[in-house]
Every structure is written in structure tokens, then in C-alpha cells.
Structure 1
Amino acid sequence: MAKAWSKASERVHGIPLAALKDGMPACEVRRAAAPVPCKFRIADISMLFTLDKRAANRFADALAASEAPHRAGPDADRILRALISAASS
């Protein structure tokens, strides 16, 4: 489970908790970075498992078996490995 945003998180990223609560929607952030139309939808990964509770449980178990790293790249790798584990059983 995700850990709460802490003072250490604020120091590392330079983002206070209050700024996260009032953040811009993902498409606005993307538009500001690259002025091309947003043709994607950000959604919760759990939507992949709405019809397969056993796969959802395997995914949750695979994530629980590993610690979330601090950086996005290794965390994305961890999540993809859990998805592969959930889909392969």
C-alpha cells in the first residue's frame, strides 16, 4: 500500500502536500509539457481486473511480495512484473 506523503517526501521532491491536493489534471500537465492533444485516459490499474477477482488477488499478492522503490522506473518495472504474474496463472 502507498505510504503517506511526508516531510521527507516534501524535501526530496520539493512539493508540499497542499500542492498535491490541488494539482492539475494529468492531461493539463501533459499539454503544458507538449502541446499535442490528449488521446489517453489515466485510470486506476485495478480496472484491468474488474471481471477477474482471482487475477486481482494474484496482482495484489505479487505487489505485496516486493517493496515499492523510490523512483518511478523501478516501480513501473515492479508493477509490470506483477501484471505478468497475474496474467500468467
Structure 2
Amino acid sequence: MSPDAIAISVAPSLFHSCIHDGRQVKVEDVQRFKLASEVVKNIITSFGHTNLFPRECYEFYARITGRTLRVDENWLFTFQFPSIDMMSSYR
């Protein structure tokens, strides 16, 4: 799925103000949904940039998911799954 498609499907779950109250949809509802979708898309596409979240958030993500965190010279994060040998030592 593209970041746009994921953002459109996930935005209402993250931003409850996108969900209209069952009445007729207003222009403001559509604008809120578009803005929330754009925010989610930016989070998805910019996830590897160091200035999106504090470093602690990326380290937490890497620790919880078991991925290896590497920062290259352009300050971009790379996430990789650990090797099979490394995973077997955790079990």
C-alpha cells in the first residue's frame, strides 16, 4: 500500500475528530479528514528522518520491535531485523 492509502485508512483511527457524528457530512469534516490524512502521510514518509521524533522514540521502537537501529552520515535511520543467530540467543 502507498503512504497515501495507509494515511487515508488510518487517519480516522488516530484523529477521532475526522469521524463525523452520523449527520450529513459538512465541508469542515472533509477538510479535517484531508488534514489528518496529510499528517499521517508525512509521519509515514518521514519516519526515518531524525528530526521527526526525538531519538529516544526511535530507540524505543527499535528495542520493542527487535530491529537494529543505524544512523548514516545523512542522519537517516535504517531499521533491519536482527539476524537469525541473534534472535535464537534471546529464546
TM over 0.5: no
More strand by share: 2
Q: TM-score, normalised by structure 2?
A: 0.30
